[in-house]
Structure 1
Amino acid sequence: MTWNSFHRRGEILRTVIATADRRRDGLLPMDVDGVAQTFGDELSLLGALQLRWHTRLAGRIERELMHQPMELESAVVAAWHATSDELPGIRAIIDHYRHEPLDDAMAAMMTKSAAKEHILLAVMAGRVSAQDATAARVGESIEHTARATYRPIRPAAEPTGHGLLDRIRAALAA
């Protein structure tokens, strides 16, 4: 991958995420300009979105654990909530395709991805030390707790101006 194609891919992924956040319908925005040329198919785009979710969640967990080092599970749940607020479109897409994959390859990818996320939650919450099926079940329980206690923030109003401050806000949101 060339430097230009790397940056183009990042730019398109940011546009996809912004579109998903705006729509929040759980469907992959394959209609965004450049998606088909850059990612090829739904599976590749979904993989890129899952990677974005997973890395953001892992980073958020680390930050929460710095603030709540004695309340590991609470910190993990808070991190899941915060990540869901930051990436609502991606969360909706992952949830949709986890329950309604397009084909067997996507179903396998979603199953493996869910298990990896559950293991991350369980290990970081201090509930398990091994990364196995038990850890995945414990992490799934933590995810259920996070979902049950999640209260999404309302989407921010679209900026109406085109001044410097509005452009800075838009850049920070992306």
Structure 2
Amino acid sequence: MNAWEIHHRRTDALRDVVTTLDAGGDLPWSPSLAELFADRDGLLLALHDLFARRLAGRIDLALELHDIPEASIPEAWQAVADELPGVHRLLQTYADEPALARANAHLHRTVAVAAGLVALDAPLATAAAAGRAFLARSSRFVVPARRDGWLRERLSFALMKATA
């Protein structure tokens, strides 16, 4: 089997796992998953990667649309949690698994860098701690309601700025 076929099989398998998780199930395991992910830790990491990649994209978009980290990052986090509720629940349940320690640290560093709390080259432990603290504080922040047309206004402004 070539790399392209493996990629597609892993993507299909992850889609099925996400469906199972969204239906309230726990982390599934089967011989076919073992063939693709080696072990449950590999599957956990793949699900974490799915969440982290989606979050990074959402954070980037949210910061472009309104550059208030205190609002943008929690809004992005909630949007991804709403899109992937089963994965989000599973990652919270397995948050203390040793297999996820480094992945969680990198995710929290992403948050800290996006919030402007640390530089990209800050030590991982320092950046991760700053990101965790930011998320803990941000959970109490209420994202202001947007009026109709706010996205159109922001995109028009960005387009005018880019063409000027």
State the partner residue of 2:16: 15
Q: Distance in 2 between matches of 1:149 and 1:29?
A: 35
Unaligned runs of 5+ in 2: 143-164
State the partner residue of 2:107: 117
Aligned-pair distance for 1:148? 4.8
CA contact (8 A) 1:81 1:146 kept: no
State the partner residue of 1:96: 93
State the partner residue of 2:41: 43
State the partner residue of 1:86: 83
Q: Distance in 2 between matches of 1:13 and 1:55?
A: 14
Aligned-pair distance for 1:136? 1.6
Q: Distance in 1 between matches of 2:115 and 2:42?
A: 30
Amino acid at match of 1:20: L
State the partner residue of 2:157: none
Candidates 136, 155, 162, aligned match of 1:144: 136
2:23 aligns to what SS in structure 1?
Answer: helix
State the partner residue of 2:58: 60
TM-score under structure 1 normalisation?
Answer: 0.71
Q: Distance in 1 between matches of 2:104 and 2:8?
A: 28
Aligned-pair distance for 1:73? 2.6
- Greater shift in the superposed pair: 139-148 or 37-46: 139-148
Does 2:119 correspond to 1:131? no
Q: Call closer, same or farther: CA 1:67–1:19 in 2, change over 3 Å.
A: same
Q: Distance in 2 between matches of 1:4 and 1:134?
A: 39
State the partner residue of 1:6: 7
Could you list the structure 1 runs, at least 4 aligned residues long, displaced by more than 3 angstroms after superposition: 145-150
Unaligned runs of 5+ in 1: 102-106, 151-174
Aligned-pair distance for 1:37? 2.4
Percentage of identical aligned residues: 35
The structure with more radius of gyration = 2
Amino acid at match of 2:95: R
Does 2:20 correspond to 1:29? no
Aligned-pair distance for 1:145? 3.2
Q: Distance in 1 between matches of 2:128 and 2:5?
A: 39
Q: Call closer, same or farther: CA 1:29–1:148 in 2, change over 3 Å.
A: farther
Aligned-pair distance for 1:146? 4.3
Q: Distance in 2 between matches of 1:123 and 1:114?
A: 14
Q: Call closer, same or farther: CA 1:146–1:15 in 2, change over 3 Å.
A: farther
CA contact (8 A) 2:70 2:138 kept: no
